[in-house]
Structure 1
Amino acid sequence: MKYFVEKEDFIFNTRVYQKICYDNNDIKTKEIEEIAEKAIKLMRQFEEKLSFFYESSEVSSINENASNGFIKISNDTFEILKKSIYYSKLTNGIFDITIAPLVKAWAINSDNPTILSKEKIDELIDLVDYEDVILNKNNSTVMLLRKNQKIDLGGIAKGYIADKIIDFYKENNIDSAIINIGGNIKVLGQKDENSFWSIGIYEPKKHSEKIICSIEAKDKSIVTSGGYERAFSYNGELYCHILNPKTGYPIKSDLKSITIVSDKSIDGDSLSTPLFIMGKNKAYEFMKKHNISGVMITDKDEIIVTKNLLEGFKLFEDYKVLAF
């Protein structure tokens, strides 16, 4: 019989949920609870390094020293920056951590979002260029090339942390678990001997708790991106919280959400938002070209799912399902 321990917390300004499964014959509940607590401490350590909002974080140090030369960073931060540049190149700049000045100016995630003028957008978008993130791997240092440039790792850090937490579970002889960091889900092993993990995909509407379909997963990451949760309305127009680094404006997509299924959560985290920005057709072509698995929900209430996920796919609502 399988037993489990559940823990919730709030890290990186988002809800974190852990579920660790175990066989009571092999390990005691107290030991599992200690592992879950240590995982929370580990996540907080990552937050202290990687948060845009912590003045003492490595990200803040990088931003404060823009154009002032190289600064030393930890191996974790260096690895995330290296992967960020990789995905910026892969998506032709649609993923770009240097979009931070625009995100801060729009402030769509705050209580007081701002409608930016074209002049202000033109001024800030000039600072957006991932090629200005200069890494020196010989001594683990980084520099932002120009003054006032800033980075924000919010589009990649949660995936990196999810991967690290799964590694931590494995080091502690856990073979069945799930970690959910604000929608960045990663599962370890199977739920039990007879079944994989079943991961629900929610109706892409604000505050909706309706699951419209689900997929089965074992040792996989599942990351969803959509513009429905955080947005604001001004003069009858809806502004999504996701900005296009190429234009500086909130995006308008023919997708309601996109879910990426991958081995590494850092990959799903880095790709889900750029693919959402691309829209249905370009996302489809990109996924085909790079052999990416996932589920798209369109503005016409179609569900487009990659064929390799069909075996464990379940539909609960009246949506048209297409496969590729």
Structure 2
Amino acid sequence: MTLSITKWLALIGLAFFITACSEDQVQLAPMVVIEGATMGTYYRVKVVTDKITDQVAFQAEIDKRLELVNDQMSTYRPNSELSLFNQAEHSHTVSADTIEVVQKGIELAQLTQGALDITVGPLVNLWGFGPDAKPTHSPSAEQIAKRKAITGIQHLSVSGLTLQKAIPELYVDLSSIAKGFGVDKIAEYIESLGEQHYLVDIGGELRMKGSNDKHLPWRIAVEKPVTNERAIQEIVLPGDNAVATSGDYRNYFEEDGERFSHMINPITGMPIKHKLVSVTVIDKSSMVSDGLATAIMVMGPELGYDFAVKQGLPVFMITKTETGFSEQYTQQFAPYLLQEAK
């Protein structure tokens, strides 16, 4: 049920884990917890309620919605809507959901000036981070140029419910935003039931509302970007929002002493080489926070921070230094930080 491993391998267990509350004497509220697998990773849903009495039926409704997203947008399913478009020479008619996600991908590509590009899949595959092969060596400049020639958001357009491509080789991969879309769909379903206190987590992409079973706002721990331990960098109280983190410190390969990240810059066709290792973004939409985290990660510490400030985005960034790590965040992110965690 995988959409793409490009970003998700780096996000499995990366982004957040729910922190425990120190107030052990608080009277707990009833909470329904559902767990499963989807899109090449886990999902976890928590709803603070006493109204959901049939958990089997509740999970079946969640699974049905997640399966639909896979049937629409998975590049691993040859008969998904997106796969059929990728196989088509010119166009293919798809669902309104797929159109919504593609249109958001085009919008984010324009907003980020190409740092997020849902057509970058051929370059990702060339570097060995796609579904076809594991990374073993870097490609030649000629190979990169050939793949760049068949990528680019300018070759993709939408007309009604029809996706159109200007070149037959164009390949669309929605993994940078489709998982967030799945989170949003589950959150919307929960709210349609009248529930106002929940947390949805798909592979580290989260959206939450209300309070937890201890009657306190949901607390989210941003993980320290190290590979040999699980440690907390900061604790965040996102409120009624979605949160996404993108990082490059768990998925890479090395060749002749040089480290190649799985994060491919669509503009250069090369893996990123800057020192930014983790980006966290808060937004009302999980799909948007998902895409923006990827784009800012590609931009790097200076351009990414300037972009976040210009757009007024709540963004938290961790950069590797000679002595460890430094953190930087926009003024819009500051209210979400738990000060006692410092």
TM-score scaled by length of structure 1:
0.90
Equivalent-residue separation in structure 1 for 2:228 and 2:176 (angstroms): 21
Cα deviation, residue 315, structure 1: 6.6
Aligned counterpart, 1:42 = 65
Q: For residues 193 and 15 of structure 1, what CA distance do their matches in structure 2 show?
A: 24
Q: Counterpart in 2 of 1:306?
A: 330
In structure 2, give the amino acid aligned to 1:10. Answer: A
* Aligned amino acid, residue 231 of structure 1: Y
Question: Residue 82 of structure 1: which of 91, 96, 103 is its match?
Answer: 103
| Aligned CA distance change for structure 1 residues 215 and 311 (closer, same or farther; 3 Å) | same
Match of 2:86 in 1: 63
Give distance in 2, aligned partners of 1:120 and 1:199: 42
After the TM superposition, which of the residue ranges 172-181 and 221-230 deviates more from structure 2?
172-181
1:8 aligns with 2:21: no
Q: Tell me the secondary structure at the aligned position of residue 307 of structure 1.
A: coil
Question: C-alpha deviations, 1:185-241, integer Å up to 9, x for none?
Answer: 111222257421101100112363211211102211110001012111222111111
Give 3-state SS (helix, strand or coil) of 2:230's partner: coil
Q: Name the CA shift for 1:254/1:229 in 2 (closer, same or farther; >3 Å).
A: same
**Residue type matched to 2:294 in 1?**
T
- Once superposed, what is the RMSD of the aligned Cα atoms? 1.9
Shift of 1:316: 8.3
Question: SS in structure 1 opposite 2:237?
Answer: strand
CA displacement at 1:305 relative to structure 2: 2.3
CA distance in 1, matches of 2:341, 2:247: 19
How many residues are treated as equivalent by the alignment? 310
Picking from 241, 246, 254, the partner of 2:275 is 254
Structure 1 residues 291-302: aligned runs within 5 Å: 291-300=312-321, 301-302=325-326
Please name the residue that 2:238 is paired with: 217
The alpha-carbon deviation at position 309 of structure 1 amounts to: 3.7
The answer as to whether partners of 1:109 and 1:241 remain within 8 angstroms in 2 is no
List 4+ stretches of structure 1 deviating above 6 A.
315-318
**Does structure 2 retain, via aligned residues, the 8 Å contact 1:108–1:232?**
no
Task: Give how far 1:32 is off.
Answer: 4.3
8 Å contact from structure 1 (residues 6, 17) kept in 2: yes
Check 1:207–1:33 CA distance in 2 against 1; reply closer, same or farther (3 A cut): farther
Distance 1:4 1:285, change over 3 A: same
Asked if 1:233 corresponds to 2:254, the answer is yes
Q: 1:94 aligns with which of 115, 128, 132?
A: 115
1:321 aligned partner? none
1:91-114 Cα shifts (integer Å, max 9, x gaps): 111111111111122222566214
Residue of 31, 43, 46 corresponding to 1:19: 46
Counterpart selection for 1:112 from 134, 149, 167: 134
The answer to whether the 8 Å contact 2:261/2:273 transfers is yes
- TM-score, normalisation: structure 2: 0.85
| Secondary structure of 1:101 counterpart | helix
